[in-house]
Structure 1
Amino acid sequence: MDDSDDRVYYVISDLHIGGDEQLEEIPFREELLGFLKRLETTDEDAELVINGDAFGLWEFTSLEGIEKFDALVEAYPDLFEQLRATGENVDVTLLPGNHDYELAAYDEFVERFAAYNVDLVQEPSISRPVGDRAIHFEHGHQRDPNNHIEDWGNAHVTPLGYYYTTQVISRAGQLSDRGKFNWLKDVQAVTPTERMPVWLISKYFYREMNALLRYSLLPFLLLFNISALLAVLAGLDIAGIWSAPVEQVQSVFQLFGLAGTAAWVFLGANVAVAGLLLLVAVPLYLLRRDVRKTVDRFGVFETALTVDAELPYVDAAREIFDSDPGTDIFCYGHTHRPTLREIEGGLLVNSGTWLKRLHRRDGVVGVLPPVFYPSYQLAAVRIAAESDGVAVEFEEIEKPSPSPEELTLTERLLTLGRKPDPSLPDRAVLEPSKAADPPTAD
């Protein structure tokens, strides 16, 4: 390992390559190969750090241990040959994440990856010098109680996240091609995981539901808010409390003759249904509230499924910075959210994911299911010492948006003017440290 001050680090994470059946597809295959080919020919003194979850080993449910490596090489020979070629020019370091934790549990993986010029480090974290600073690398799952590995190196450790992966994500990969469209495999891109039920409802409504049924429901769902309001006003009218609003609305519709009458009848039907739903919703809400209080009292669910995207890592970065004054950059992945922010003189950096990002867009009217707008934020974090300090920046790797193919016409209409902005964080520079001696690598 060359510890020279001018070494440049490229960081990627959360590729999640591999898995059962439909999870075998790599939608960013060409982009990843292109990035690795660029490093194969760079004249920089560089190291590529793959900071966890490069592979989806938990997503292989019918294979064990080193068999999963053989499956990866067989499925992606071009990727492994490119890793070999890239590794001849720059150092390639691989850290285990939670989805590929088995890399830390079987020593055979080290030798097998070394044959492709990849240095597999079977530790939860590493440190690297850059200029007069140091970078702390870890995947980040150790800060997540649902994916924390207590007995590091034990092949039989199965945290809660393991069961979610094997029972939900892997099963989705096995079933995805049975749908009208091959969308179920994207469940691994749904974050936070608590959104998964809502995402399933959304995809069923916009993708799987019979088109005639969907379009017959659309007017009712779009007008539900208005119908609910009119149902309340109709109740006040029937009770003799306030009749003016209903009379005024009815008189407006009468101005349009037969068309107005038809619209009034249609709206009346909506109002009747909305009124019944409101009557049912009140006792259901009270029941749900009481059940939740009971569940909380017994402590059945003590933790959320998803770790906070930043707070645990802010605390972890402060601990690292305090315990090692020469370390001022905390680089992680796991949460799939590209991040670059300053923390008390240091930097918190999340390298994001190469998986699809799904941005929730709730309806502005009615009670339609939310739209999950897809995008890509492919990037590599570049960390290098420059004349004005240590620079950290995201280098974007362009990939066309999948939205034209993956969103229905209805979804595109409902998200007009509300497309997500998948821009990456701005460049940041740490000014030269006052420390006399630069830190050394692990």
Structure 2
Amino acid sequence: MGEESGDRVYYVISDLHIGGDEQLEEVEFLDELLDFLARLAETDENAELVINGDAFGLWEFTKVDGLGKFEVLVDTYPELFEQLHRTGANIDITLLPGNHDHELAAYDEYVERFAEYNVDLVQGQSLTRVVGDQVVHFEHGHQHDPNNAIEAWGDPNATPLGYYYNTLVTSRAGQLSDRGRYNWLKDVQAVTPTERMPVWLLSKYFYREMNPVLRYALVPFLLLFNISAVLAVVAGLDILGIWSTPVTVATTFLAQFGPAGTAVWFLLAANVAITGILLLVAIPLYFLRRDVRQTINRFGIFETGLTVDAEAPYKGAAEEIFAEEPQTSIYCYGHTHRPTMQAVDGGLMVNTGTWLKRLHRRDGIIGILPPVFYPSYQLSAVRIAQAPDGVAVEYEPIQKPSPSPEELTLTERLLTLGRKPDTDLPDRAVVAGEETVETVEAE
């Protein structure tokens, strides 16, 4: 399908990640997606739906190969494919592969199978559409992520680093998730960037899987760790006879409260003793760690690490496209799961976010408790259409209730009290020309 007429309205979604082994089969937003598609099936707009990559989690299937994955998808989600067929009878639906469903570009048979459900599968890595007198460039965005870039696009044997991560880690998480105290491991797909995985696993172990008695015994120590570290230094000065005033004052003050003061004194003493030992051990470990890191850096082992800047590669890609193709003024991508809109030289870059759950890291205010990953939904469709003053780009929120409180333990809820994430979507923007982007705040 080539460029469409300039008066068409475009709805864009991405990163649905539908499908995968065992627990990854669950699609928590399926009802909302069906409702959205049903609305488009009844619209009288001259509209097109662009699914901008990672509609399906084909990398997360490890027990079936090739076109067999399509059959599993149809059998598992018959209502979805039936609704795609009905919606596609009213408006055009264009599906662009991402990295997780790269196989859609590797087998021509997929084009025919999706056509049966009125979905036009474009096997390239990008496409363009005309809106008014301007051009919108669509691509998933994995091309600018060194861990997921696929040089041999369309090669069924293409396996970037991200492929191994998802086949070995994500799919395995789907197979094991229901063994936990709560079915949480399947949320591994929502952990972005992937280098947060070890911290997320530590967090879920501590707040979910750790024996409750052990956890509640550790909480006071971890909460008081920073205070205990200071007290350990003060206690050391007292033992050395350098400065005893703080210890004398604290002992006298707590003695005024009788048994309660004594209990607090013993609690602090235990924390100080443990913290003091940890601090003594930490000193040689710090120097050892620093020496090891310096040695590793000399050999350049981590020069191509896993950490990927969330915005810079896409800003550069957008500016390059705008410079090479002056009529193109909107760069629409996904992949990073962050719904963002940013004016750059030559136009506007728009990220379509994800329909997966989002996990917002909340570090402890005091102590050294593991961070809490607060869940939320930011379901939306980006709408791009001609407006009197240019091309309007706006997020249409898809309402979905917040994740169940059961997903957070009581401890996690207490630690994040008053610290819920801001789930507001970016404001509407109007692109009036190559150099002009006006942001209009939502009412």
TM-score (structure 2 length as normaliser): 0.96
1:331–1:351 Cα contact (<8 Å) kept? yes
Runs of 5+ unmatched residues, structure 1: 435-442
Give RMSD over aligned pairs.
Answer: 1.2
Residue 291 of structure 1 aligns with which residue?
A: 292
- Residue 239, structure 1, aligned to residue 246, structure 2: no
1:374–1:403 Cα contact (<8 Å) kept? no
- Residue 343, structure 1, aligned to residue 382, structure 2: no
1:328–1:345 Cα contact (<8 Å) kept? yes
- Residue 261, structure 1, aligned to residue 262, structure 2: yes
Residue 395 of structure 2 aligns with which residue?
A: 394
Residue 416 of structure 1 aligns with which residue?
A: 417
**CA–CA distance in structure 2, aligned partners of residues 374 and 126 of structure 1:** 33
Runs of 5+ unmatched residues, structure 2: 436-443
Offset at residue 306 of structure 1 (A): 3.8
AA paired with 1:49?
V
Residue 248 of structure 1 aligns with which residue?
A: 249
2:347–2:434 Cα contact (<8 Å) kept? no
* SS of 2:100 mapped into structure 1: coil
**CA–CA distance in structure 1, aligned partners of residues 297 and 153 of structure 2:** 32
Greater Cα shift, 299-308 or 215-224: 299-308
Residue 127 of structure 1 aligns with which residue?
A: 128
1:128–1:136 Cα contact (<8 Å) kept? yes
* SS of 2:99 mapped into structure 1: coil
Offset at residue 433 of structure 1 (A): 6.1
**CA–CA distance in structure 2, aligned partners of residues 147 and 387 of structure 1:** 39
Offset at residue 299 of structure 1 (A): 2.1
**CA–CA distance in structure 2, aligned partners of residues 354 and 163 of structure 1:** 23
Residue 427 of structure 1 aligns with which residue?
A: 428
- Residue 166, structure 1, aligned to residue 172, structure 2: no
**CA–CA distance in structure 2, aligned partners of residues 66 and 159 of structure 1:** 20
Deviations 1:156-206 (A, max 9, x none): 010000000011101100100111110001011001111110110110111
Count of paired positions: 434
Offset at residue 302 of structure 1 (A): 2.7
* SS of 1:85 mapped into structure 2: helix
**CA–CA distance in structure 1, aligned partners of residues 140 and 24 of structure 2:** 21
1:20-419 correspondence to structure 2 within 5 Å? 20-419=21-420
AA paired with 1:245?
P
**CA–CA distance in structure 1, aligned partners of residues 277 and 262 of structure 2:** 23
AA paired with 1:241?
I
2:326–2:434 Cα contact (<8 Å) kept? no
**CA–CA distance in structure 1, aligned partners of residues 434 and 365 of structure 2:** 50
Query: Which structure's relative contact order is higher, taking Cα pairs within 8 Å and 6+ residues apart?
Result: 1
Offset at residue 63 of structure 1 (A): 1.1
Structure 1 residue ranges (4+ consecutive) displaced by more than 6 angstroms after TM superposition: none
Offset at residue 4 of structure 1 (A): 2.5
Residue 439 of structure 1 aligns with which residue?
A: none
Offset at residue 255 of structure 1 (A): 1.0
Offset at residue 152 of structure 1 (A): 1.2
Offset at residue 262 of structure 1 (A): 1.8
Offset at residue 403 of structure 1 (A): 4.8
AA paired with 1:44?
E
* SS of 1:58 mapped into structure 2: helix
Residue 437 of structure 1 aligns with which residue?
A: none
**CA–CA distance in structure 1, aligned partners of residues 304 and 413 of structure 2:** 36
